[in-house]
């Protein structure tokens, strides 16, 4: 498998395939690797990891999208406002119609899913977080 795997201080494993994709392709790509998903940052102990990844990989897709009420929801069903990381990371909504988010530093910016951005997959070798 091309790309690189690394463990981070949040005890999660990351896979960087060194590729870009549109949102649907990024979700499918990470979901096709057993145990992996597109990146999610929900906890305060992930702040420095999110910052480092956001700084190193400009504009990566997040497993975060708006629901029908316009609320950002992580791929595991936890709303962004209910996640600890909302104390450190902000969501930036440009327009109500954009429903997907990309990571840019410690900002989650909403955007359409049809632009190519960095793909980064995440797994918990100890179980689902």
Residue among 6, 19, 1 nearest 52 (CA): 6
Q: What integer pLDDT is reported at residue 114 of this predicted model?
A: 92
Is 45 in a helix, a strand, or coil? helix
Give the CA distances from residue 126 to residues 5, 37, 73, 123, in Å, rounded to whole numbers and listed in that order. Answer: 16, 14, 23, 9
- For each of the domains in the chain, give its residue range(s) and CATH number, in order of start: 4-123 (3.10.100.10)
Q: pLDDT tier at 93 (50, 70, 90 boundaries)?
A: confident
Residue 128 has pLDDT above 70, yes or no: no
Query: Which residue, among 29, 113, 37, 24, has the nearest Cα to 76 in the 3D structure?
Result: 37
Q: What is the pLDDT of residue 123?
A: 97
Average pLDDT over residues 76-94: 92
pLDDT tens for 31-67 read: 999 999 999 999 999 999 998 887 877 689 999 999 9
- The answer on pLDDT for 116 being more than 60 is yes
Round to whole Å and give the CA distance between 95 and 6: 35
Q: Are 94 and 109 in contact (CB under 8 A)?
A: yes
pLDDT at 105: 85
| Dihedral (Cα; 105, 107, 110, 115), 10-degree rounding | 0
Mean pLDDT for the chain? 91
The b/e string for 71-99 (b: 16+ C-beta within 10 A; e otherwise) is ebbbbeeeebeebebbeebebeeeeeeeb
- pLDDT at position 95 is 73
Asked if 39 and 57 touch (Cβ cutoff 8 Å), the reply is: no
Percent of the chain with pLDDT over 90: 74
């Amino acid at each position: 498998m091309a790309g690189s795997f690394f463990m981070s201080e949040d005890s999660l494993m990351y896979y960087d395939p060194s590729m870009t994709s549109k949102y649907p392709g990024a979700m499918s790509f990470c979901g096709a690797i057993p145990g992996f998903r597109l990146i999610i940052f929900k906890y305060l102990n992930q702040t420095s990891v999110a910052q480092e990844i956001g700084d190193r990989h400009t504009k990566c897709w997040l497993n975060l999208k708006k629901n029908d009420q316009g609320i950002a929801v992580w791929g595991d069903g936890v709303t962004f406002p209910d996640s600890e990381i909302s104390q450190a990371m902000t969501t930036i909504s440009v327009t109500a119609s954009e429903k997907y988010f990309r990571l840019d530093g410690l900002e989650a910016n909403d955007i359409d899913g049809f632009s190519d951005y960095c793909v980064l997959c995440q797994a918990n070798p100890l179980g689902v977080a």
